[in-house]
Amino acid sequence: MKVVLFCGGLGTRIREYSESVPKPMVPIGHQPILWHVMQYYSQYGHHDFILCLGYKANVIKDYFLNYKMTASNDCVVSDFGKKIEILGERPPDWRISLVDTGTWRNIGQRLLAVKHLVEDEEIFLANYSDGLTDAPLEEMIKCFKKSGKLGCFIAIHPPISFHLAEFDERDSLRRLRSSQESEIWINGGYFIFRNEIFDFIQEGEELVLQPFERLIAGGHLMAYKYEGFWRAMDTLRDRQVLEDMVERGEMPWRLSTQSLAKGTS
């Protein structure tokens, strides 16, 4: 399946980095978070990507046009750098469509801008480019196909705890409790769509507002509840959490061979 990734946002909440590079190119370890997202899909055999570019599109284009496998793989160098041998498993052969969808477009309009690139796909995948998870993608796709719905997203609990204020009928404060104790679920991306999704998006609309409301009204949208690992990189604190995980070698989004085999059996 083709994978549409939304890479055009301004990244205003991580401004220290986004003034020089777009948020998808902020590094986690030795590679940008966009690379980690693409690796997640590759582990399930999805290598055909459509990147919806916008803010600082040239930075993302330059990265892939000058991509060096040696940046993320062990290697042997000989003949004074003229011969390079990649050690271990070679990285996947990605096919990447780099599409400038404009600086100021929202996600719904970015998806419309690449409609022609997925028009032959009965089902395609889509996602933000700044969040990581270990959710079982093949199981999600299987549930989605069985449901007959037109759209699906992963629903997760907010990863950062905050305090919920509850009031009584006189607006007097009744109690405070942690969000982790609540039944709050939020949109975590990792979308799955049938091609009919485009019938629900009108000019100028954001993806998860009016179009999703229409899908819900018609009974065409499902959410895959997941309580495992999920983390978005919205702030510098989020980046530091992910960076620390990489330094410790804890990368749950890099699935093991065993877990992949279990997920596809």
Report which secondary-structure segment, H or E, holds 113. Answer: helix 107-113
CB burial readout 204-225, b (16+ within 10 A) else e: ebebbeebbebbeeeebbbbbe
Is residue 93's pLDDT more than 90?
Answer: no
Contact by Cβ (8 Å): 56, 101: no
Mean pLDDT of 63-87: 75
Distance of CA 217 to the CA centre of its chain: 26
The pTM of the full predicted model, rounded to 2 decimals, is: 0.83
- At the topology level, CATH places domain 2-264 in Spore Coat Polysaccharide Biosynthesis Protein SpsA; Chain A (3.90.550)
Q: From its phi and psi, is residue 230 left (phi > 0), alpha (psi between -120 and 50) or beta?
A: beta
Mean pLDDT of 197-225: 94
Query: Rounded to whole angstroms, how far apart are CA atoms 222 and 151?
Result: 6
Contact by Cβ (8 Å): 2, 194: no
Is residue 262's pLDDT more than 50?
Answer: no
Residue 261 — pLDDT band, cuts 50, 70, 90? very low
What residues pair up with 211 in beta bridges, in sequence order?
none
